[in-house]
Amino acid sequence: MTLYKAYADDLAEMIERGALKAGQRMPSVREAARHRGLSVVTVLKAYHWLEARGLIVARERSGYYVGSRPQAYPPQPAVSRSATVSTAVKKGDLIFEVLDAVQRRVVVPLGSAFPSPLLFPLQSLYRSLNRSVRHLDPWRTVTDLAPGNWELRRQISLRYHIDGMEIPPDELVITDGAMEALNLCLQAVTRPGDAVVIESPTFYVALQALERLGLRAIEVATHPGEGIDLAALEAVLRQQRPAACWLMPNFQNPTGALIPEERKEQLVALLERYRVPMIEDDVYGELYYASTRPKPAKAFDHSGNVLHCSSFSKCLAPGYRIGWTAPGRHAAAVRRLKLGTTLSAAIPSQLALANYLEGAGYDRHLRRLRDALFVERDAMINAIREFFPEGTRVTRPEGGYFLWVEMPRGTDSLQLHRRALEQGISIAPGAIFTARDRYSNCLRLNYGHPQDRRVLRALKTLGQLARECR
């Protein structure tokens, strides 16, 4: 446990048993630092953690005070339902309409799919890029074509090994981000007209890929906290014989759901029994708040049936567009598709990341990033509880940086999206996360942008607009 969390836990326990009473002034940051032998930064982080949970409150020019007893977390959204038949996907226009708004810098990016770029070690990456290209061997432009730079694949393989998984470098294919990895894997195991299992709700990138390739979607019931319903999935596998399954077991986008480890093992065994390949999107796996990284489904794959995909875009290097896939028994097909489309991911980006991963900076960065996201999660949940209509439900993910918000029935989140844009606020309405007409009263919010007055005002405005969009 990090120092600030240990200190914050001590203070939370004192508040809980009444040793620190509501309204009592907390020691100043410098006073607490001297008393506990901690740095000022550590104490500040502990206070921010407590503040995000409503245990203490900051008063301008006065310091921190013990708050009133915090309210319980809002309830989770409802479990979704499975579709009885597959459906064609026609959501491209709506998805592009929503995504276009996120790219404008003046907009408060609560609908963005990326955390704040200020949370990443961009200067350190720049130095790694500078070092690696200064003496670039011209033959790299040939030797580092698909499957990609050997040293980068070795570093990725080593990280899996440290987490208890054996994925050899030879299985890995470096791609232009996870999006290309997922698309290549989908192409390798399907043909136009095939049906593909997806979660309900699902990340809109899956819908875009299905629509582009002429595939049909089978939406399967999904718990907002624990992921896809295995009984519902087996019924679909038995009755509809899909060609593939596209799932996100760790911190699913948009709900943040985490499939428990034993159910991941059951999931992999179930799909192997029906000979249905699983495309695993694991781009948020490093953004966990517990003490250890949750295992991907690939960790339980003994037959090469899981096509595992990940990326550095969400946890280290946005804009470098470096992802990868470990496609199991489909590796040769994926490698051929990569060579036949884009040949290679950018050589300088591959070399820069390989150079950066040689040092110890990545794990330090990940600890800071996880700590920041952990605090911001509860700050946004508290703001939703305060500002949104009564009866609003929200997820409480254990990783990633998304909240799935279910507002009272009758609320129109698409209308809310359009009215919020007029106020300079972006959200991701529920309609873009389904191939059908579902989730009209739901939305996804990004808490990966540090809470400041601008974000707090935006959440307050959203709550007011949500009451009007019914």
Q: In sequence order, what DSSP letters do the residues of 343-357 get, joined into one string?
A: --S-HHHHHHHHHHH
In whole angstroms, what is the distance from residue 436 CA to residue 217 CA? 9
**Residue 69 to residues 19, 54, 111, 206, Cα–Cα distance (Å):** 13, 8, 31, 42
Structure tokens at 291: 């003490």
pTM here is 0.88
pLDDT at 213: 96
pLDDT at 425: 96
- State the pairing for strand pair 244-247/278-281: parallel
| Element holding 417 (H helix, E strand) | helix 413-422
Lowest mean pLDDT among 59-73, 345-359, 401-415: 59-73
The tens digit of pLDDT for each residue in 248-285 reads 999 999 999 999 999 999 999 999 999 999 999 999 99
Distance of alpha carbon 310 from its chain centroid, rounded? 11
pLDDT tier, 84 (very low <50, low <70, confident <90, very high otherwise): confident
In whole angstroms, what is the distance from residue 191 CA to residue 316 CA? 34
**CA-based torsion, 420, 421, 423, 425: positive or negative:** positive
The tens digit of pLDDT for each residue in 291-345 reads 789 999 999 999 999 999 999 999 999 999 999 999 999 999 999 999 999 999 9
**Percentage of residues of the chain with pLDDT beyond 70:** 99
CB 247 within 8 A of CB 185: no
The tens digit of pLDDT for each residue in 416-433 reads 999 999 999 999 999 999
User: CB count, 10 Å around CB of 426?
Assistant: 23
Nearest alpha carbon to residue 423 among 462, 395, 386? 462
Mean pLDDT, residues 168-184: 97
pLDDT at 245: 98
pLDDT at 67: 83
CB 40 within 8 A of CB 33: yes
User: CB count, 10 Å around CB of 9?
Assistant: 14
In whole angstroms, what is the distance from residue 148 CA to residue 364 CA? 26
The tens digit of pLDDT for each residue in 139-165 reads 888 888 899 999 999 999 999 999 999
pLDDT tier, 69 (very low <50, low <70, confident <90, very high otherwise): low
Q: Which residues pair with 428 in a beta bridge?
A: 444
Q: What is the mean pLDDT of the chain?
A: 92
The tens digit of pLDDT for each residue in 355-380 reads 999 988 999 999 889 988 988 898 89
In whole angstroms, what is the distance from residue 171 CA to residue 147 CA? 9
Distance of alpha carbon 12 from its chain centroid, rounded? 28
Structure tokens at 334: 């994926």
Nearest alpha carbon to residue 412 among 437, 387, 395, 434? 437
pLDDT tier, 288 (very low <50, low <70, confident <90, very high otherwise): very high
pLDDT at 171: 96
pLDDT at 70: 56
User: CB count, 10 Å around CB of 87?
Assistant: 15
pLDDT at 209: 97
Structure tokens at 385: 């509880």
Task: Tell whether the model's pLDDT for residue 459 goes beyond 60.
Answer: yes
Structure tokens at 406: 């279910």
